[in-house]
Amino acid sequence: MYRFRRLRRDERIRSMMQETRLHPKDFIYPIFVIEGENIKNPVESMPGIFQYSIDRLDEILAQVKRAEIGGVMLFGIPIHKDPQGSQAYAKDGITQRAVRFIKETYPEIYIVVDICLCEYTSHGHCGMVQGEEILNDETLPYLVKMAVSLAEAGADMAAPSDMMDGRVAAIREGLDQAGFTQMPIMAYSAKFASAYYGPFRDAAHSAPGFGDRRSYQMDFANGQEALREIAADIEEGADIVMVKPALAYLDVLKEAALAFDVPLAVYNVSGEYAMVKAAAAKGWIDEKRIVIENLTAMKRAGAKIIITYHALDAVKWVSEG
Ligand code: PBG
Ligand code: ZN
């Protein structure tokens, strides 16, 4: 009889047989940067996550550096919002200043910037708006301007999350023309219109002022379409493609891993984080074990990069064994 249990007898052989192992470099940690001074605001629906003003960023960056994770992903929260989201591509915009600050004080930290207008527009949508419609082609030049301006500030990687058609090609061309031919693009390719983004929209002040995002983000019922979105972004020049959210979409991630030979990222989003933290606070689950199990599942399903609010805790827990 074949006995699977021979290789599960004790920790020594079990750890030798382990197929998937988490590593600090798997993780990218999202950071919310808010305009103002001396601010460290807790995000209520995301225990352990804060909005930091630039003068308080040092606190979290020191932890990021110590954890030796892959990088950070920045989300700026401006005071001034307008229909064109002008602070998204202003030379002294909040995100541009944050990038410059990190570049100067922690040059070893890899900086990914989310490219999208929703934190910067007065209507809270990810593109230009006409009446009730979210315009596609009219939005592209603004996304390009944002990417180029953050590249000029010193960002290492651009991650467009807006879900406009053709934005990867437009941003690639814009970056190349501005001389940033070496800056990679990580495309939020299969980004679903999801209730799991709720806590993020509180954290980033980016909830849409009218309607919802279903005319540009994907229907969560659609797996085949997700593969077409990913194929299109690869074709347009994406270096890394992303599936988002993570846990309810591991099937999409796995299919993408089987279908495409490019690095995959997954975004373990705010609502997923909130659910774990809430249940853990109640004492209903073991946070550490649940988080390691979830993150391992994402890597097992095919993610090369995991963007997660658990990153700093996970590194601690992985090293403790
Ligand atoms: C901006 C953006 C969102 C997230 C990442 N970039 C919100 C949205 O699309 O409404 C969600 C991240 C999270 O929930 O953790 N477009
Ligand atoms: Zn957006």
Give per-residue pLDDT as tens, 218-227: 999 999 999 9
pTM: 0.98
Taking the CA of 193 as reference, the closest ligand is: 1
**264 pLDDT tier (thresholds 50, 70, 90):** very high
> Cβ neighbours of residue 235 under 8 Å, at least 6 residues apart?
none
Atom of ligand 1 nearest to the CA of 268: 15
What letter does residue 191 receive in the DSSP assignment? E
Among the listed residues 81, 145, 244, 299, the single catalytic one is 244
What letter does residue 44 receive in the DSSP assignment? T
> In this predicted model, what pLDDT tens digit does every residue of 118-151 receive, in sequence order?
999 999 999 999 999 999 999 999 999 999 999 9
| Packing angle of the helix pair 224-236, 250-259 (nearest 10 deg) | 50
Query: Measured in angstroms, how far is the CA atom of residue 86 from the centroid of ligand 1?
Result: 19
Query: Which protein residue has the closest C-alpha to ligand 1 atom 10?
Result: 197
**321 pLDDT tier (thresholds 50, 70, 90):** confident
Query: Which protein residue has the closest C-alpha to ligand 1 atom 14?
Result: 197
What letter does residue 68 receive in the DSSP assignment? T
Measured distance CA(118)–CA(128) in Å, rounded: 10
Among the listed residues 191, 254, 288, 316, the single catalytic one is 191
AA identity, residue 30: P
The CB density around residue 203, as the number of other CB atoms within 10 Å, is 25
Average pLDDT over the chain, rounded to an integer:
97
Average pLDDT over residues 235-262: 98
| Packing angle of the helix pair 270-281, 287-300 (nearest 10 deg) | 150
Q: What pLDDT was estimated at residue 95?
A: 98
> In this predicted model, what pLDDT tens digit does every residue of 163-175 receive, in sequence order?
999 999 999 999 9
- If one residue of 115, 206, 214, 272 were mutated to test the ligand 1 pocket, choosing by the most ligand atoms within 8 A of its CB, it would be 206
Measured distance CA(56)–CA(40) in Å, rounded: 7
Q: What pLDDT was estimated at residue 71?
A: 98
Told to judge if 91 belongs to the known catalytic residues of this protein, a careful annotator would answer no
Structure tokens at 234: 């690869």
Residue with tokens 């390691």: 292
Atom of ligand 1 nearest to the CA of 217: 9
- Which helix H or strand E contains 43, and what residues bound it? none
Query: Measured in angstroms, how far is the CA atom of residue 317 from the centroid of ligand 2?
Result: 32
* Strand 305-308 relative to strand 186-191, pairing: unpaired
Q: What pLDDT was estimated at residue 195?
A: 97
Contact 268, 248 (CB under 8 A): no
Query: Measured in angstroms, how far is the CA atom of residue 320 from the centroid of ligand 1?
Result: 31
Please give the C-alpha separations between residue 246 and each of 21, 41, 293, 299, in angstroms, as whole numbers. Answer: 18, 26, 13, 10
What letter does residue 89 receive in the DSSP assignment? S
Measured distance CA(211)–CA(115) in Å, rounded: 21
Residues in contact with ligand 1 (CB, 6 Å cut-off)? 114, 116, 118, 126, 161, 197, 200-201, 206, 213, 269-270
Q: What pLDDT was estimated at residue 119?
A: 97
Q: Which long-range contacts (CB under 8 A, 24 or more apart) does 226-231 make?
A: 226/189, 226/190, 226/192, 226/252, 226/255, 226/256, 227/190, 227/252, 227/255, 227/256, 227/259, 229/189, 229/190, 230/189, 230/190, 230/256, 230/259, 230/260, 231/260
> Cβ neighbours of residue 223 under 8 Å, at least 6 residues apart?
251, 252, 255
Question: C-alpha angle 211/138/176, rounded to 5°?
Answer: 125
Query: Which protein residue has the closest C-alpha to ligand 1 atom 8?
Result: 197
Strand segments (E) across 144-213 = 157-160, 186-191
Q: What pLDDT was estimated at residue 24?
A: 98
> In this predicted model, what pLDDT tens digit does every residue of 65-115 receive, in sequence order?
999 999 999 999 999 999 999 999 999 999 999 999 999 999 999 999 999
Query: Measured in angstroms, how far is the CA atom of residue 200 from the centroid of ligand 1?
Result: 6
Q: What pLDDT was estimated at residue 308?
A: 99
Query: Which protein residue has the closest C-alpha to ligand 1 atom 6?
Result: 161
Query: Measured in angstroms, how far is the CA atom of residue 21 from the centroid of ligand 2?
Result: 32
Taking the CA of 197 as reference, the closest ligand is: 1
Query: Measured in angstroms, how far is the CA atom of residue 272 from the centroid of ligand 2?
Result: 18
Query: Please, what sign has the CA dihedral across residues 131, 137, 138, 142?
Result: positive
Contact 307, 268 (CB under 8 A): yes
Structure tokens at 149: 């301006």
Told to judge if 191 belongs to the known catalytic residues of this protein, a careful annotator would answer yes
